[in-house]
Amino acid sequence: MDNNNSNNNGGQNQKGPQTFIILAIAAVVTLILFSFISNLLTDSSQKKITYNEFLEMVDSNQVKSVKIESDRITIVPKTKAEQEGKESVLAAVPLITYYTGIVEDDTLTEKLLVAGVSLEGEIPDRVGFLESLLMTVLPLILMWILLSFLFSKMAKGSGMMGVGKSNAKVYVEKETGITFKDVAGEDEAKESLQEVVDFLHNPDKYSKIGAKLPKGALLVGPPGTGKTLLAKAVAGEANVPFFSLAGSDFVEMFVGVGASRVRDLFKEAQKAAPCIIFIDEIDAIGKSRDSRYGGDSEREQTLNQLLAEMDGFDTSKGILILAATNRPEVLDKALLRPGRFDRRVIVDKPDLKGRVEILRVHAKNVLMDDTVDLEAIALATSGAVGSDLANMINEAAINAVKHGRTVVSQSDLFEAVEVVLVGKEKKDRIMSKEERRIVSYHEVGHALISALEKDSEPVQKITIVPRTMGALGYVMNVPEEEKFLNTEKELRTMLVKFLAGRAAEEIVFDTVTTGASNDIEKATEIARSMVTQYGMSEKFGLIGLETVESKYLDGKAAMHCGDATAAEVDKEVMKLLKESYERAKELLIENREALDKIAEFLIEKETITGKEFMKIFREIKGIPEPEE
């Protein structure tokens, strides 16, 4: 199905009814205005008099002409000039006429003829009849046609002028151009969805054993992990009609429109079965109906209709519902139960192996030289999602072109990693000599802790070149292997490393600056998690005082304790941070010579690699170089 053609035809189909409605309304309004103005003019130019007054006017020679009609006598009076026997063109037309009712008077005609009054009788006029028809019957007919059309459209569930009609985009296999081969790093999610696709292709194989097609699958994960990409891959693999729309497409300002669109969507899907319905960002209509997340009658009607439709359709026809969200905690429990969404497919951040596969997928059409090591890039991008990695490959290609190269190198990729994580180099920001010294000592303080503590990650790069995301300098650490757990000792080492920059400033300059604000924020977050979530506090022990909300978004935690306990938690966090800060100062004072020499070298070079840093450190400490 050609999506563009279907959209154009839909626009043409709606244009005809809308034009008819506009013309009909314009005709009715014109007739009403014409009738109103005509009556107004008639009322202002005619005056009613009694029959006696009419006879008196005839006797006093004030009447010029008379027209006897079926229901009245219309009297045209003489002007003053005519009464005086004078001729005047300007005064020939009277300003007002009179009329009176019909009275049985056999002598009236004779009186008028004697008085010299022009007498006229009524002649049936077809034009008057047609005018009467236009003024009365035609507006009623037009209104009846208009209302009949609107009510018929509403009765079909389409709403006024197509407002309640589903606007889902329909795809088939050849249009998406995406299959499971284009999705990497999410093997478990692909496996769950491949089973569903196989069910659609070979239903008999499953029905023989008594298995039923799952009604729905909910794709859950952080933004950028590839939920929509997976849904498109299902469309590419299934080779069945694929209805794609977002949860916000159901929401309108008119109450009941969303429910109407849900009904229309499922009606169209049943006609096209077997097929797949994909609802992206389903939390827009699927939020819990309790008061915690606020009430909305339109959204709740839409959700109720969706629940009813998911219960009502027959799975044997092959209708599968896919939905995606990164806020599963706010979804209504009735929506999540088996029988509606039978499967919850977690599309989480990829691990090291997954990141390597994703990088390979996005790098297959990019020219790269022999220096490129995608595993090293994957190690340096722990926590990155598929969209981040795709952006890094693209930035590396752009960087290679910018430097006049025809292939991408490893240095281009690492620079792209920095661009995505901390922004581009801000070359127009020139720091003073004193600020350069402060930033240099600050960053070397972080790096020295990484070299001194064995539970820390190795240094990849140190720089004091400002970046567009606000950093005046930074230290890039790259782990030797990916970890899924952190020991308490490793977390305490992280605290020392984060606070070492501030400690170096105090030791060397006997003052502190605002440059450590981000370090303090990160250190506080880790220390609080150790106390409230990880049970690593001697005072509180194994008690959970916080729970993580919006796990797949910002991951913020909410406290679940009294005010007195919360105050004690703050004291424990401050104790941890103070101990870590003292430890950082102690280590840096013991290694002041290394701190000074490496900082001087960094001021001169602005950027040094991890190998250069470790070479200077080993020379100062008298440590032999490791054998390669």
329 belongs to the catalytic site:
no
pLDDT band at 27 (very low <50, low <70, confident <90, very high): low
Domains of the chain: 49-123 (3.30.720.210), 169-346 (3.40.50.300), 352-421 (1.10.8.60), 433-621 (1.20.58.760)
- Locus of tokens 């014409």: 34
Host H or E run for residue 324: strand 319-325
Q: How far apart are CA 579 and CA 545, in angstroms?
A: 22
For 126, the token pair is 């077809």
Instruction: Summarize pLDDT for 210-227 with one digit per residue, the tens.
Output: 887 788 889 999 988 888
Q: What is the CA radius of gyration of the chain?
A: 43
Nearest alpha-carbon partner for 225 in 383, 393, 395, 394: 383
Q: How far apart are CA 169 and CA 129, in angstroms?
A: 54
Across residues 406-424, what is the average pLDDT? Answer: 88
Q: How far apart are CA 543 and CA 541, in angstroms?
A: 6
Which of 37-51, 79-93, 568-582 shows the highest mean pLDDT? 568-582
The size of the chain, in residues, is 628
Q: Which residues of 258-295 are buried (b: 16+ CB within 10 A; e: fewer)?
A: bbbbbbbbbebbeebbbbbbbbbbbbbbbbbbeeeeee
Instruction: Summarize pLDDT for 140-159 with one digit per residue, the tens.
Output: 777 777 767 666 655 444 44
Instruction: Summarize pLDDT for 61-112 with one digit per residue, the tens.
Output: 888 888 888 778 888 888 777 766 655 444 444 557 888 888 888 788 878 8
Q: What percent of the chain has pLDDT over 90?
A: 26
User: What is the pTM assigned to this prediction?
Assistant: 0.67
Report yes or no: 257 and 163 within 8 Å, Cβ to Cβ. yes
Residue of 268, 443, 453, 457 marked active site: 443
Report which of residues 384 and 254 the model is more confident about: 384
Q: How far apart are CA 381 and CA 416, in angstroms?
A: 11
Q: How far apart are CA 620 and CA 543, in angstroms?
A: 46
* Amino acid letter for position 343: R
State the pLDDT at residue 224.
Answer: 87
Judged on CB neighbours under 10 Å (0-12, 13-18, 19+), 514 is exposed
Q: Which residues are within 8 A (CB) of 361 and not within 5 positions of it... i.e. 6 or more apart? A: 182, 183, 184
**275 DSSP β-pair partners:** 319
Q: Which residues are within 8 A (CB) of 466 and not within 5 positions of it... i.e. 6 or more apart? A: 425, 426, 429, 431, 472, 473
Instruction: Summarize pLDDT for 337-363 with one digit per residue, the tens.
Output: 888 888 888 898 898 899 999 999 999
